[in-house]
């Protein structure tokens, strides 16, 4: 097993979105991320899955430095990126991000050349820039004359390739992929995904892959973590995860996915159907935040927030059902 | 033929005037559905799905849109030749629509009650107007139908006070409140989270089955089509390239485009993802001659570059517009 | 490896020689064509651009196109005063015998000059302050800039202009200064709103997390995206500035006689209403035409930058 490249420990990120009360002004906080811990290993793809409001993007944006954590620590190769007021340039070079919508992540008024040149200018000022831009375009399988195009002249997939080229321009070792294909058609998705996998092997990149698409995750991630309302509720190796989903929310998520074949249908937990609304992150339910929607809810769930338990080697779940980890019942026998 | 089909589109062409000329978006679309059917319409972004549906409702902005050719029949009457009055009747009680984004479909400054009751009032028989109590009762009934608790309070609330899932439920309730014969659902629930989308789709399926409403489901998600429909049309660049019973289509897709699309879907069973379909949807200003798919088609042959493929019948309900099947049956020229 | 790099380099170098220029030219031509298509789809925009072009040309070539260029200055000919419109004097003559048409055309000069100079004075600082406040949204920089802007916006513009013009010597230049003083906050407001929105775009975040400087983000990433709304506002604002300039002249605080100005002409001519109506009505109509022209042009510019419908 390779070493951890990024460790996130008890990360919390709260946003103050307003104030309540006329006289006694109390801040209204959104606990976007509320005590998240995980580690990404050197060279792997760590999948972070969740629905809107789960805080998965907030985790990503905090790691890349768009936000400062409210509490908790992030360690990148033994270094704390938040040790100083501003992040050292060397770390900005190492940690890069590809955003969800290439329509908004590429400046419409700048040419592809200018877009890819920026990180080169900052991090590799001594190299021949035109040559590097050509090399980067080639790397993402785009012809060199795309340099002189503007984002609006490109298709969605091509734009995302440019965004990937820009992220790789600094020669990073860790890339955050924030739903890199969810704004694209499925016919284009495959090409981007396979490109990302190829580049990962070629440059020994580590990925933090954020998505809401479990089917996609099955095919790209080495390990998967599920987030719900600012907390991680289950982590496991991908194959194990899909074979044995423990957490009731994971099961609900799996059962909700529209699939295209009978074989996949068999993988979906049949007995669980999705109910209830996702609560607002401003008003997170007490105890286990999922208890209102949980089909296996017990008394304790509304009172006590469960802790992470390792139910199998490398497979952890945050649920009272498995509190006695040693004699845990596999979900299929419930 | 004594009973005409519910909807029949014959050789529909729609063009848009833009800088540089005409976008030839729809290129001879043919489509038939009977009453009570649940039909899916799948294709990539920009393939003309929504344009086709807007043409059925006659809500395309003209200009820039133009219909140089084609007929659209609703229960045997040509929609394109109807007067505004006849059209208003069809839009009210004949055809309803649900949109992808429930937030945009509801007016933020009116309460749910005002909007829902207005829909019920306008679509009721104008000769026998409903009393305010009746309208109110019907509004409550239609919210109960979409499984929303406390309808009285809901009628007084505004869209912003509801979650995305609740708004989509309200939209479904509103669309079905008038008792339409046909419901057009444009990517229902795709803007919502997957667990909520699942609830919405199950609700929608339950309601259309109970009321025996016909439905056209527009989506780019193949999984949704598989779970929701009886028959599927696959659309590419303004043409219907394949139509089949849902089961048959998923078991044995025939058109190279349909196959590419199926292969591209990541599977829960794993095994990696295919590269998908190379290239992108053509520019409608100068679409490729012959089959519009040929530049992206791995099996393109000489004739594909020159001629537009006719539709070949593979079985009773399975038709493909592709020259690979020329030997397979009697091709029926489509345009 | 080295060989490949060399090939690539050559490839890129070859591109730089011929193809770049061709590619850039082609993309520029296409953008221009598309812009003109969108602009010209509304026939009124064409009317606007034609009117503005005609007005600008008349103003520039006033000494050569006017029938009585001498009448633009201190000229009197009481023998031919107050002549109604005729072939010789299409818009008639004024109370001291000067050709009204000539004076209108010369009057356009000061109106246009005012529009151009005021905008040139107002736009750069207004935009800069807006960019800074937008980028530093929520900090003290934002607070200081935007509150000062609010203070300027809360002073009634015409009164401020009148005050300035009455303290200083009333003439065209001081009038322009006065108008400029009250005009910049509108650009700050406009750009501030755009900047706050653009600041949260992912392309700005992408530049930030990669280590781009603040100057780069403000001037290279944000500013280019504010140009279209600024241009749209400018073309509509020319009309406003001309109206305000005419108002200042009307009350005697702008252009001073005998220099011709549309505002002054309407003011002087109004004393001869309704009998010698042409002295006031034609300059008033000229103001209407110029203002309408710039407004139509501005609408066209707005259409030009609007997103594609399809």
Strands (E), chain C: none
Q: Find the helix or strand (DSSP H, E) in which C241 lies.
A: helix C227-250
Percent over 70 (pLDDT), chain B: 96
CATH number of the domain at C233, please: 1.10.3720.10
Mutation target among A17, A62, A105, A109 for the C interface, most CBs of C within 10 A: A109
Are C69 and C192 in the same domain? Answer: yes
Q: Which tens digits make up the pLDDT trace of A208-236?
A: 999 988 899 999 999 999 999 999 999 99
Rg of chain A, C-alpha, whole Å:
21
- Answer yes or no: do B226 and A259 touch at CB < 8 A: yes
Determine the number of helices (DSSP H) and then strands (DSSP E) in chain C.
13, 0
Residues A108-135 have a mean pLDDT of: 88
C196: closest CA of chain A, how far (Å): 15
Contact between residue A172 and residue A64 where contact means Cβ atoms under 8 Å apart = no
Q: Is residue C72 part of a domain?
A: yes
Q: Is the pLDDT of residue C121 over 50?
A: yes
A143: closest CA of chain B, how far (Å): 13
> CB-based contact (8 Å) between C15 and chain A?
yes
Percent over 90 (pLDDT), chain C: 24
pLDDT reported for residue B231: 94
Selected residue with higher pLDDT from A161 and B279: A161
pLDDT-derived band of residue C187, with 50, 70 and 90 as boundaries?
very high
Of A187, A215, A278, the CB nearest to B260: A187
What's the CA gap between B122 and B120, in Å, rounded?
6
C34: closest CA of chain B, how far (Å): 6
Nearest C-alpha in A relative to B44: A185
Supply the DSSP string of A303-317, one letter for each residue. Answer: T-----EEEETTEEE
Residues A27-55 have a mean pLDDT of: 90
Are C110 and C7 in the same domain? Answer: no
Nearest C-alpha in C relative to A178: C202
Assign B240 to helix, strand or coil.
strand
Q: Is residue B98 part of a domain?
A: yes
Number of domains, chain B: 1
Q: Is the pLDDT of residue C2 over 70?
A: no
Question: ipTM of the predicted structure?
Answer: 0.86
Q: Find the helix or strand (DSSP H, E) in which B235 lies.
A: strand B231-236
**Mean confidence (pLDDT) of chain A:** 87
C305: closest CA among C228, C201, C247? C228
What's the CA gap between A25 and A88, in Å, rounded?
37
Are C232 and C199 in the same domain? Answer: yes
B95: closest CA among B191, B178, B199? B178
How many other C-beta atoms are found inside a 10 Å radius of the C-beta of residue B60?
A: 20
Nearest C-alpha in B relative to C40: B19
Q: List, as ranges, residues 20-39 from C with C-beta within 8 Å of A.
A: 20, 23-24, 27
Q: How far apart are the first and last CA of chain A?
A: 33
Subunits adjacent to chain B (3 or more Cβ pairs under 8 Å): A, C
Q: Is the pLDDT of residue B165 over 50?
A: yes
- Answer yes or no: do B261 and A187 touch at CB < 8 A: yes
Assign C288 to helix, strand or coil.
helix
Contact between residue B311 and residue B335 where contact means Cβ atoms under 8 Å apart = no
Mutation target among B18, B24, B48, B66 for the C interface, most CBs of C within 10 A: B18
Percent over 70 (pLDDT), chain A: 95
How many Cβ contacts (< 8 angstroms) between chains B and C? 16
Q: Is the pLDDT of residue A165 over 70?
A: yes
Of B193, B222, B250, the CB nearest to A52: B193
Residues of chain A positioned with their CB less than 8 A from the CB of C226: none
**Mean confidence (pLDDT) of chain B:** 85
Residues of chain C positioned with their CB less than 8 A from the CB of A116: none
Contact between residue A149 and residue C15 where contact means Cβ atoms under 8 Å apart = no
Which range is least confidently modeled, A209-223, A316-330, B103-117?
A316-330
Q: Which tens digits make up the pLDDT trace of B236-269?
A: 999 999 999 999 999 999 999 999 999 889 988 8
Q: Is the pLDDT of residue B125 over 70?
A: no
All residues at 6 or more sequence positions from C97 whose CB lies less than 8 Å from its CB, including other chains:
C75, C76, C77, C78, C79, C80, C81, C82, C83
- Answer yes or no: do A260 and B45 touch at CB < 8 A: no
Are C142 and C284 in the same domain? Answer: yes
What's the CA gap between C230 and B85, in Å, rounded?
45
What's the CA gap between B154 and B176, in Å, rounded?
17
Q: Is residue C310 part of a domain?
A: no
Are C194 and C269 in the same domain? Answer: yes
Q: Is residue B237 part of a domain?
A: yes
DSSP state letter for C166: H
Residues B302-317 have a mean pLDDT of: 87
Which runs of consecutive H residues, i.e. helices, occur in A140-222?
156-168, 186-203, 214-220
CATH number of the domain at B115, please: 3.40.50.300
Mutation target among B20, B102, B273 for the A interface, most CBs of A within 10 A: B273
A185: closest CA of chain C, how far (Å): 18
pLDDT-derived band of residue B235, with 50, 70 and 90 as boundaries?
very high
Q: Which tens digits make up the pLDDT trace of C124-175?
A: 999 999 999 999 988 899 999 999 999 888 887 677 777 776 787 777 787 7
pLDDT reported for residue C157: 67
Q: How many residues does chain A have?
A: 334
Angle at which helix C100-135 crosses helix C172-199, to 10 degrees, equals 40
> C32: burial class by Cβ within 10 Å (0-12, 13-18, 19+)?
exposed
Label residue A75 left, alpha or beta by phi (over 0 means left) and psi (-120 to 50 means alpha): beta
Nearest C-alpha in B relative to C33: B19
Percent over 70 (pLDDT), chain C: 91
Are C8 and C71 in the same domain? Answer: no
Are C56 and C21 in the same domain? Answer: no
pLDDT reported for residue A327: 46
Nearest C-alpha in B relative to C39: B19
Are C36 and C52 in the same domain? Answer: no
All residues at 6 or more sequence positions from B3 whose CB lies less than 8 Å from its CB, including other chains:
B35
Q: Is the pLDDT of residue B329 over 70?
A: no
Q: Is the pLDDT of residue A329 over 50?
A: no
- Answer yes or no: do A259 and B45 touch at CB < 8 A: no
Are C139 and C1 in the same domain? Answer: no
Are C55 and C101 in the same domain? Answer: yes
Are C33 and C77 in the same domain? Answer: no
Q: Which tens digits make up the pLDDT trace of C284-299?
A: 899 899 989 998 988 8
> CB-based contact (8 Å) between B14 and chain C?
no
Q: Is the pLDDT of residue C254 over 80?
A: no
Q: Is the pLDDT of residue B182 over 80?
A: yes
Q: Is residue C3 part of a domain?
A: yes
pLDDT reported for residue A5: 92
How many other C-beta atoms are found inside a 10 Å radius of the C-beta of residue C116?
A: 14
The pairs formed by C302-309 with CB atoms below 8 angstroms and a separation of 24 or more are C302/C232, C303/C38, C303/C39, C303/C41, C303/C42, C303/C45, C304/C35, C304/C36, C304/C38, C304/C39, C305/C228, C305/C229, C305/C231, C305/C232, C306/C38, C308/B18, C309/B18, C309/B61, C309/B64
Domains of chain A: residue spans and CATH: 4-243 (3.40.50.300), 248-334 (no CATH)
Number of domains, chain C: 2
What angle (nearest 5°) sits at the alpha carbon of residue A107, between those of residues A117 and A82? 70
Of C12, C16, C210, the CB nearest to A92: C210
Are C246 and C199 in the same domain? Answer: yes
How many other C-beta atoms are found inside a 10 Å radius of the C-beta of residue C90?
A: 13
Highest mean pLDDT among A164-173, B74-83, B205-214, C225-234: A164-173
Residues C227-243 have a mean pLDDT of: 86
Of C11, C203, C227, the CB nearest to A144: C11
Q: Is residue B1 part of a domain?
A: no
Q: Find the helix or strand (DSSP H, E) in which C144 lies.
A: helix C140-154
pTM: 0.84
All residues at 6 or more sequence positions from C143 whose CB lies less than 8 Å from its CB, including other chains:
none
pLDDT reported for residue B335: 40
Contact between residue B78 and residue B12 where contact means Cβ atoms under 8 Å apart = no
Separation of CA A26 from chain center: 32
Q: Which tens digits make up the pLDDT trace of C43-63?
A: 899 999 999 999 999 888 888
For residue B21, the enclosing domain spans 7-332
Selected residue with higher pLDDT from C165 and A137: A137
What's the CA gap between C225 and C190, in Å, rounded?
12
Selected residue with higher pLDDT from A46 and B330: A46
Contact between residue B252 and residue A171 where contact means Cβ atoms under 8 Å apart = no
Q: Is the pLDDT of residue B331 over 70?
A: no
Contact between residue A42 and residue A295 where contact means Cβ atoms under 8 Å apart = no
Residues A138-148 have a mean pLDDT of: 86
Q: Is the pLDDT of residue C6 over 60?
A: no
pLDDT reported for residue A169: 92
pLDDT reported for residue C239: 83
Q: Is residue B2 part of a domain?
A: no
For residue C27, the enclosing domain spans 1-40
Q: Is residue B85 part of a domain?
A: yes
């Amino acid at each position: 097993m390779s070493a951890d490249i990024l460790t996130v420990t008890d990360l919390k990120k709260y946003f103050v979105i307003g104030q309540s009360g006329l006289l006694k002004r109390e801040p209204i906080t959104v606990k976007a991320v509320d005590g998240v811990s995980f580690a990404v290993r050197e060279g792997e793809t760590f999948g972070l899955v969740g629905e809107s409001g789960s805080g998965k993007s907030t985790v990503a944006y905090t790691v890349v430095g768009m936000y400062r954590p409210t509490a908790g620590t992030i360690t990148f190769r033994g270094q704390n990126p938040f040790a100083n007021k501003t992040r050292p340039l060397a770390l900005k070079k190492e940690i890069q991000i590809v955003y969800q919508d290439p329509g908004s992540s590429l400046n419409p008024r700048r040419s592809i050349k200018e877009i890819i040149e920026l990180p080169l200018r900052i991090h590799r000022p001594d190299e021949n820039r035109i040559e590097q831009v050509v090399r980067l375009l080639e790397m993402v399988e785009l012809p060199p004359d795309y340099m002189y195009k503007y984002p609006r002249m490109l298709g969605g997939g091509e734009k995302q390739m440019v965004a990937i080229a820009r992220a790789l321009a600094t020669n990073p070792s860790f890339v955050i992929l924030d739903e890199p294909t969810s704004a694209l058609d499925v016919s284009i998705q495959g090409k981007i995904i396979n490109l990302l996998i190829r580049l990962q092997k070629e440059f020994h990149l580590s990925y933090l892959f954020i998505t809401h698409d479990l089917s996609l995750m099955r095919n790209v991630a080495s390990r998967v973590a599920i987030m719900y309302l600012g907390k991680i509720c289950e982590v496991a190796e991908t194959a194990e995860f899909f074979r044995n989903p423990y957490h009731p929310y994971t099961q609900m998520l799996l059962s909700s996915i529209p699939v295209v074949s009978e074989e996949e249908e068999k993988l979906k937990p049949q007995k669980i159907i999705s109910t209830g609304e996702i609560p607002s992150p401003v008003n997170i339910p007490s105890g286990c935040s999922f208890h209102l929607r949980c089909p296996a809810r017990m008394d304790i769930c509304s009172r006590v927030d469960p802790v992470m338990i390792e139910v199998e080697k490398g497979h952890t779940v945050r649920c009272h059902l498995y509190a006695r980890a040693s004699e845990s019942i596999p979900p299929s026998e419930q | 033929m004594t009973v005409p089909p519910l909807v029949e589109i014959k050789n529909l062409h729609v063009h848009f005037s833009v800088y540089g000329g005409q976008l030839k978006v729809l290129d001879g679309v043919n489509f038939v559905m009977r009453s009570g059917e649940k039909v899916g319409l799948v294709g990539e972004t920009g393939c003309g799905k929504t344009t086709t549906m807007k043409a059925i409702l006659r809500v395309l902005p003209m200009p820039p849109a133009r219909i140089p050719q084609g007929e659209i029949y609703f229960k045997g009457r040509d929609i394109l030749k109807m007067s505004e009055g006849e059209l208003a009747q069809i839009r009210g009680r004949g055809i309803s629509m649900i949109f992808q984004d429930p937030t945009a479909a509801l007016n933020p400054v009116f309460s749910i009650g005002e909007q829902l009751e207005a829909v019920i009032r306008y679509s009721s028989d104008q000769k026998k107007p409903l009393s305010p109590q009746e309208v109110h009762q019907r509004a409550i009934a239609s919210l109960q139908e979409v499984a929303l608790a406390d309808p009285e309070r809901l009628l007084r609330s505004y869209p912003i006070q509801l979650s995305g899932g609740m708004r989509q439920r309200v939209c479904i309730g509103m669309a079905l409140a008038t008792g339409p014969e046909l419901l057009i659902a444009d990517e229902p629930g795709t803007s919502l989270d997957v667990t909520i989308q699942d609830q919405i789709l199950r609700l929608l399926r339950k309601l259309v089955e109970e009321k025996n409403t016909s439905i056209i489901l527009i989506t780019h998600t193949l999984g949704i089509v598989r779970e929701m429909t009886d028959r599927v049309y696959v659309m590419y660049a303004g043409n219907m390239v394949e139509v089949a019973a849902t089961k048959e289509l998923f078991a044995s897709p025939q058109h190279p485009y349909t196959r590419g699309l199926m292969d591209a879907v990541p599977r829960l069973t794993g095994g990696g993802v295919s590269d998908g379909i190379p290239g992108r949807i053509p520019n409608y200003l100068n679409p490729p001659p012959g089959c519009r798919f040929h530049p992206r088609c791995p099996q393109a042959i000489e004739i594909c570059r020159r001629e537009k493929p006719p539709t070949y019948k593979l079985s009773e309900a399975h038709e493909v517009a592709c020259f690979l099947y020329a030997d397979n049956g009697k091709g029926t020229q489509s345009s | 490896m080295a060989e490949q790099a060399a090939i690539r380099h050559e490839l890129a170098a070859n591109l730089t020689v011929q193809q770049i220029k061709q590619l850039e030219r082609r993309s520029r031509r296409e953008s221009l064509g598309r812009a003109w298509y969108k602009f010209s789809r509304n026939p009124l925009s064409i009317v606007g651009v034609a009117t503005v072009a005609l007005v600008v040309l008349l103003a520039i070539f006033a000494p050569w196109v006017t029938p009585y260029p001498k009448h633009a200055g201190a000229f009197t000919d009481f023998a031919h005063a107050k002549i109604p419109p005729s072939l010789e004097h299409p818009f008639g003559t004024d109370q001291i015998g000067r050709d009204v048409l000539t004076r209108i055309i010369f009057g356009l000069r000061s109106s246009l000059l005012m529009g151009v100079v005021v905008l040139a004075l107002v736009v750069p600082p207004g935009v800069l302050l807006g960019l800074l406040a937008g980028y530093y949204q929520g900090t003290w920089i934002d607070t200081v800039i935007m509150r000062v802007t609010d203070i300027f916006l809360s002073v009634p513009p015409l009164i401020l202009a009148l005050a300035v013009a009455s303290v200083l010597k009333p003439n065209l230049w001081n009038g322009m200064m006065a108008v400029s003083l009250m005009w910049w906050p509108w650009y700050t407001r406009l750009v501030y709103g755009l900047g706050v929105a653009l600041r949260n775009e992912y392309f700005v975040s992408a530049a930030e997390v990669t280590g781009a400087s603040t100057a780069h983000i403000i001037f290279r990433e944000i500013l280019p995206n504010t140009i279209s709304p600024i241009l749209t506002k400018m073309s509509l604002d020319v009309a406003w500035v001309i109206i305000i300039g005419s108002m200042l002249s009307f009350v005697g605080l702008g252009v001073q006689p005998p220099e011709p100005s549309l505002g002054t002409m309407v003011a002087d001519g109004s004393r001869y209403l309704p009998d010698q109506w042409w002295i006031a009505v034609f300059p008033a109509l000229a103001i209407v035409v110029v203002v309408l022209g710039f407004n139509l042009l501005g609408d066209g510019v707005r259409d030009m930058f609007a997103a594609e419908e399809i």
